Structure 1
Amino acid sequence: MSAVLEPEVQAALDRAKAKPQRRRAGRTMHPGEFLADLAAQTFANLRRNKLRSFLTLFGIAWGIASLVLMSALGDGFRQGQRKNMAQIGDNIVFVYGGVTEEQAGGQRAGRRISLYQRDLDILRQNCPSVQVLSAEHKTYQVPARTTTNSGRFLSLGVNPDYLKLRNLPVEIGRTVGQADVDDGRRVAVLGSSVRKQLFEKNKAPLGERFYLNDYPYEVIGVMSEKDQNSSYDGWDNDKILIPTSALLRDMPPNRQVYAEGRVDGFLYRPMDVARWEEAQAQVRGTLGRLYKFEPTDKGALRIFDSIESAQMFDSIFNAGEIFLAVVSLVTLSLGGVGVMNTMMMAVSERTNEIGLKKALGATSQRILLDFFLEGLFLAILSGVGGLLLVWGLSSLVNSLPMPAMFSGLPIHWRVLAFATLSLGLVAVGSSLPPARRAAAMTPVEALRHER
């Protein structure tokens, strides 16, 4: 080994000498000084190879950012889908008559099943898992006119039970009440688009009269404008709500339907979301006994269950989140490999310094702690940068107007906790091997090392 020490080795020797002297003088290093030394050494390592250091920092930062961002993206679409389905109604099931596919009770397959108003009482008596139940009555393309404007709209016959099921909020005025249904009053609640077409600039036409199927109706309310992305019978903005009794009297789909008491279908909400299958089985069983078809005959009734659909979407989103989390963890692990390689290079470049420290009395535990904390500091610094990046991006996105199917980028504490735990594990796993390698060196081997 050369008698004249290289400048970097001499500097290491000076630093190594300084620390024991401070301890001998009875002065221990302040935590702030220790962190400052740790940060200075870490940034010195980063400056030695800027490209390698940038890629290392980027790998960890992007791994953490992608983990949080992908989870937020999935939650944004999940909440958007739930919000979109809630535009129709919360936890509701639609039941319509269908065509039988199986023979049952001596009846042939291929029979058309129609549902009737009288079925409501039978269902209420035999379906204890059903909380609210209502028939659905509607007539399409009903002519409506004022003195200046006209149009054709879907007229929906409603009652208090129906309004408990469907999400049809009123912004101005009031909605249809039980007294309106009992008396068959000619009152109407207009969808926002209907109001604009019939009354143009009059934003609150309460008390105004218009003609619906040539019958005079009074406006008692205007529905809140909806930003719908899907519907089973048209946008709620384009509908007119009137009492069920008034619709069946003034504008039934046809007179035979009115005379027979036939309904378009039923809506119901189960007592509990957890009992949706039980409620559906009770409805199928009751109508099956009533109209002589097997409850297992899927064609006899056409059922749209929003609870089942929500659970299906949740399963899809959960699977997607797990896949994206695995991909993000792989990215984070690759970033951890980069940190480990950087620290391995630092150990190799500072071998002489390690030898000098050990020759001057530094223990293997102290060497291990120094390099372990340097690697830990590097990984955590990168992870914090990734979290700040995704926080800024989510704040920017959430400040923008959102489409109906997307609710922004919500960041939940459970995701942050998982990301922090993952970062900690990667930081420890990538910092420990280089630190152990440095601690395992003997002073003689380290001082003989040629750089």
Structure 2
Amino acid sequence: MWRTLVREFLSDLNKQKLRSFLTLTAIAWGTLSVVLLLAFGRGLGTSMMRGMLGAGNQVMIVYGGQTSMTYEGLDIGRQVRFTEEDLKLVERSVQGIQYASPQYGRYGAQLKRNDFTTNTYMEGVDPDFEIMRTMYPAAGGRFINERDVDEMRRVLFLGDEIAVRIFGEEDPVGQQVMLDNTPFTVIGVMKPKMQTSMNNGPDADRAIIPYTTFRNMYGNRTLRSMLIRPGDPSLQESIKTDLVNLMASKYKFDPSDEQAMPMWDFIEQEEMSRKVSTGLEIFLFVVGFFTLMIAGVGVANIMFVVVKERTREIGVKMAVGARKVHIVTQFIFESLFISFLGGLIGIGISTGIVYGVRALNLQGGASDFLGHPEISHIAVAVTIGVLGAIGLLAGIFPAIKASRVDPVESLRYE
């Protein structure tokens, strides 16, 4: 039976080449639209997430602020400034913290090598900073370690862009640089990374030294901020609550006073970014779905035309004993075959385009966001399901109409 259905379908395709070509093209185009929209949409969402994590991987940056509410008779406007001892107290008292680092900062730090001079934002941090800020060293170098901190070594870790400005094509590792007229040895250069959120400029243009060295050089006693990362992102809210209560108790401010201790919460931002990315994928799928539905209407119209053209043939089959279920099966099969064949063509072309774009390995500017499309297997599976539904719906009504043909009347049909 199935062999007969396939043979009749291929025969009909051969008789109506132009009509069949246009129908298959419509289905293929609709499928292509869905797959490409979702692939580039997912690639965009992934790139946005990667760019955000480039500025902070599930971390919370805690700043000292200024009170905006009275508390226990104390006036508003009091400065809240944290120290290294505060961070140690937080690590001892607040459960669930996996990584933590003090952050000292200095704008306009001067870096000089031979006759070249440049200025940048420089930070004094702990080794945990590497993981929290995803500042991983390129091959041949390293980030600062505990021994650098304990011995207050004059070692320097550079962002990839500022390293190129200073050293050009030379390998910076092991070279000396004057940092504010003090000699430092470069121990590593950051791997290039995407970064969409900025904290005093991009990490690619930053200089990093041990926080103890920073304190010893500049005499700072208060931190610019504290950097904290939970061991489990689900502990975010409890850690924030315990942290605020601990510092509020020590520095005498209202725990609800957000201006006294501002926070930049990357975990919260990551969740928002995921929701935006999911919403974008849903929107793009809906757009592509309606494109497919329009193609499905075309298939239904073609099937109605086929029924009309083959009325006499249908009547002959029924006259010689064909049952209604055979007629219905024939037209539904043809409709499904057109849908899946067009869909297969569309998926094949879109897959080729996606992997072709990825093979170009585009970098920089908009290419960082649109040059890395990702095919979603779930989206392909859903698209195939939609194609099946379209083929079924586009074929079932013409099939029912065909099954109701009166054999006697159809034999008179010209």
Fold conserved (TM > 0.5)?
Answer: yes
1:79 corresponds, among 37, 46, 55, to 46
Match of 1:3 in 2: none
- The alpha carbon displacement at 1:63 in A equals 2.6
State the distance in 2 between where 1:335 and 1:219 align. Answer: 61
Match of 2:113 in 1: 146
Output aligned runs, 1:37-52, within 5 Å: 37-44=8-15, 46-47=16-17, 50=18
- The alpha carbon displacement at 1:318 in A equals 1.6
Q: Tell whether 2:165 aligns with 1:197.
A: yes
Match of 2:198 in 1: 231
1:437 corresponds, among 391, 401, 405, to 401
Q: Tell whether 2:323 aligns with 1:355.
A: no
Output aligned runs, 1:337-352, within 5 Å: 337-352=297-312
Cα deviation 1:416-445 (Å, max 9, x = unaligned): 111111111111111111111111112112
Letter in 1 for 2:386: S
- The alpha carbon displacement at 1:174 in A equals 2.6
Q: 1:227 to 1:322 in 2, by over 3 A?
A: closer
Q: Tell whether 2:269 aligns with 1:269.
A: no
- The alpha carbon displacement at 1:272 in A equals 0.9
Match of 2:143 in 1: 175
* Corresponding residue SS for 2:128: helix
Match of 2:100 in 1: 133
Q: 1:368 to 1:306 in 2, by over 3 A?
A: same
Match of 1:278 in 2: 238
1:68 corresponds, among 10, 15, 35, to 35
Match of 1:396 in 2: 356
Match of 1:297 in 2: 257
State the distance in 2 between where 1:193 and 1:430 align. Answer: 58
Match of 1:111 in 2: 78
* Corresponding residue SS for 1:399: helix
1:373 corresponds, among 311, 333, 340, to 333
State the distance in 2 between where 1:55 and 1:297 align. Answer: 66
- The alpha carbon displacement at 1:164 in A equals 3.3
Letter in 2 for 1:441: V
* Corresponding residue SS for 2:209: strand
1:422 corresponds, among 386, 389, 410, to 386
- The alpha carbon displacement at 1:202 in A equals 2.2
* Corresponding residue SS for 1:346: helix
State the distance in 2 between where 1:441 and 1:239 align. Answer: 79
State the distance in 2 between where 1:39 and 1:221 align. Answer: 66
Q: 1:43 to 1:311 in 2, by over 3 A?
A: farther
- Kept in 2, the 8 Å contact 1:157–1:242? The answer is yes
Match of 1:314 in 2: 274
* Corresponding residue SS for 2:98: strand
State the distance in 2 between where 1:392 and 1:354 align. Answer: 41
2:153 corresponds, among 169, 185, 203, to 185
State the distance in 2 between where 1:191 and 1:379 align. Answer: 53
TM-score (norm 1): 0.84
State the distance in 2 between where 1:355 and 1:398 align. Answer: 54
Q: 1:101 to 1:39 in 2, by over 3 A?
A: farther
Structure 1 outlier segments of 4+, above 6 Å: none
Match of 1:446 in 2: 410
Supply the RMSD in Å over aligned alpha carbons: 2.2
- Kept in 2, the 8 Å contact 1:101–1:299? The answer is yes
- Kept in 1, the 8 Å contact 2:68–2:77? The answer is yes
- The alpha carbon displacement at 1:136 in A equals 0.5
1:336 corresponds, among 265, 274, 296, to 296
- The alpha carbon displacement at 1:348 in A equals 1.0
Letter in 1 for 2:231: M
State the distance in 1 between where 2:73 and 2:368 align. Answer: 49
Q: 1:237 to 1:331 in 2, by over 3 A?
A: closer
1:92 corresponds, among 35, 59, 84, to 59
Q: 1:432 to 1:200 in 2, by over 3 A?
A: closer
Match of 1:123 in 2: 90
State the distance in 2 between where 1:159 and 1:262 align. Answer: 15
- The alpha carbon displacement at 1:129 in A equals 2.6
Q: Larger radius of gyration, structure 1 or 2? A: 1
1:412 corresponds, among 372, 376, 388, to 376
Q: Tell whether 2:285 aligns with 1:325.
A: yes
State the distance in 2 between where 1:447 and 1:90 align. Answer: 75
How many residues get paired?
409
- The alpha carbon displacement at 1:244 in A equals 1.2
1:164 corresponds, among 116, 131, 142, to 131
Match of 1:24 in 2: none
- Kept in 1, the 8 Å contact 2:49–2:274? The answer is no
State the distance in 1 between where 2:353 and 2:193 align. Answer: 28
Letter in 2 for 1:413: H
- Unmatched tracts of structure 2, length 5 or more: none
State the distance in 1 between where 2:381 and 2:150 align. Answer: 56
- The alpha carbon displacement at 1:406 in A equals 4.1
- Kept in 2, the 8 Å contact 1:42–1:374? The answer is no
State the distance in 1 between where 2:105 and 2:380 align. Answer: 49
Q: 1:99 to 1:53 in 2, by over 3 A?
A: farther
Q: 1:230 to 1:433 in 2, by over 3 A?
A: same
- Kept in 2, the 8 Å contact 1:229–1:404? The answer is no
- The alpha carbon displacement at 1:139 in A equals 1.3
- Kept in 2, the 8 Å contact 1:199–1:205? The answer is no
